[in-house]
A and B are shown apart, each in its own frame.
Chain A
Amino acid sequence: AQSVTQLDSQVPVFEEAPVELRCNYSSSVSVYLFWYVQYPNQGLQLLLKYLSGSTLVKGINGFEAEFNKSQTSFHLRKPSVHISDTAEYFCAVSNTGTASKLTFGTGTRLQVTL
């Protein structure tokens, strides 16, 4: 079985400040890792994904994440946030190989203020 832990339920940050949203996973097999963003009253949008190769992954809207196999982590970072980044962020894992279900973390609410 797989599980995902997002350690922070809420992260308040000022505009233009850097932010890191933490994600740790547990799995007995190799996994793919994802970050999704959910804006109010909308569906989930993929920010970035790690499949293999370089451990530093760049995504949309200036976000990036680093896969750390030894620490089973996949933390999301942005060097300078904007008000429009206020949203719920979900880390997820899936098995490698054929298309398979996503197991999500509980989400982190990023609140950006002036």
Chain B
Amino acid sequence: DSGVTQTPKHLITATGQRVTLRCSPRSGDLSVYWYQQSLDQGLQFLIQYYNGEERAKGNILERFSAQQFPDLHSELNLSSLELGDSALYFCASSGTGDTYNEQFFGPGTRLTVL
């Protein structure tokens, strides 16, 4: 158990809909990262937040957005969903001190768009 939690575990929805994925980082970790894992694109970095501020952006579509709240949990919002958005979405967190460079991954949210 990495200490990172993600909800829901599975999500099935229809094209055009909007969903919200939630992530709680390990206690004390300030950085949260979102990754997408799909068969055709592999594991891709989407976005990083550090203590509530956006730190880095990767291959994140304009239909996707994220935020990190004062309690450090994060949400990834996916809107106008398309079939190609079906994937496993991972959240990871990293802390300070000796393990600042190590990311701890949650179990993921499997999104299926029908």
Contact = CB atoms under 8 A, between A and B. Distances in A.
Interface of A: 32, 34, 36, 42-46, 49, 51, 90, 94, 96, 98-107
Contacts, number: 53
Given A103-B45, A107-B42, A45 B100 contact: no
- Give the most central of A36, A44, A51, A104: most B CB within 10 Å: A44
B58 interface: yes
B37 to A, nearest CB: 9
Interface stretch (B11-19, B61-69, B70-78, B105-113): B105-113
B interface majority secondary structure = strand
Interface in B44-89: 44-45, 48, 50, 56, 58
Interface range, B side: 20 to 34
A16 to B, nearest CB: 29
A94 B31 CA distance: 15
B94 interface: yes
Contact of B45 (A32, A99, A102): A102
A42 B33 contact: no
A43 B90 contact: yes
B114 interface: no
Given A44-B90, A94-B101, A100 B107 contact: no
